[in-house]
Copies of this chain bind each other. A is one copy, B any other.
C-alpha cells in the first residue's frame, strides 16, 4: 500500500466531489501548474484510486476500495488465523485424553510421537466410541483409537482460509491441523496449529461486518 502525500489526498477529495474533472481544472483548484501535478496524478491512476479517460478527465474509482477489501479477504492465510493446537503424546490413556479435552474445551486433540511429529487426530467422536467399548480407558492408549497418518487431512500455513474452508466442507471434517513437512520425509509433519469451522465463522463475521 502506497502512503499518500497530503497533496495527493487533496486531489482525491477534489475528484471525488467534482469528477469527472480535467487535470487543468484540478491544477486551478490547487493553484498549481498542470505540470506540477503530473507525478501525483500518475501515482493516483497507477495505484487504481483514480481512473482517467481521454477528453473527459479524472474519475474517482469507487470500486477500488471494494476490490482492495475483496483481495484482502481472498488472501487471508491460514498462518495468520490458526489457533493453538492441543497436543497429547500418542501413548496417553484415553481417559486422560478425555480429561484434557474437557479442560481445554476443544473438539479435537492431536497426538504426536516421541520426535514431536504429528501421529494422529483424536476427535470427540473417537473418544465417545471408545467409552462405549467397555475397555479399560485408563490403560487404552489414544494411538489405538486415533485417525492416523497418512489418513489425516492437513493444511499448510501458506494456504488461504478459503482453501481450508473448502477442504473441511468437501471432506466433512470440523478441523484441520496446520502442518509443515519435515524435510525429505514424506508424510511426516510438524504441527503448527489448527484451523476449525470456528476460525471460518470468525472470518465470515469479519467480512460481513466490514
Contacts and interface: CB of A to CB of B under 8 A. Distances in A.
Interface of A: 20, 53, 56, 62-63, 66, 73-74, 95, 98, 101-102, 105, 107, 124-125, 127-129, 131-132, 137, 162, 165-166, 168-169, 172, 174, 196-198, 200-205, 207-209
Q: How many copies does the complex hold?
A: 2
A169 B200 CA distance: 11
Contact of A74 (B102, B202, B208): B208
Nearest to A205: B165
Contacts of A197: 174, 196-198, 200-201
Contact of A205 (B53, B95, B102, B162): B162
Contacts of A131: 128, 131-132
A207 B208 CA distance: 10
A73 B205 CA distance: 12
Contacts of A74: 208
A199 to B, nearest CB: 9
Nearest to A196: B197
Nearest to A53: B20
Contact of A98 (B101, B107, B132): B132
A62 B20 CA distance: 15
Among A196, A197, A208, residue most surrounded by chain B Cβ atoms (within 10 Å): A208
A44 B136 CA distance: 73
Given A63-B63, A165-B204, A174-B198, 9 more contacts: A62-B63, A101-B128, A128-B131, A131-B132, A162-B205, A162-B209, A201-B201, A201-B204, A204-B204
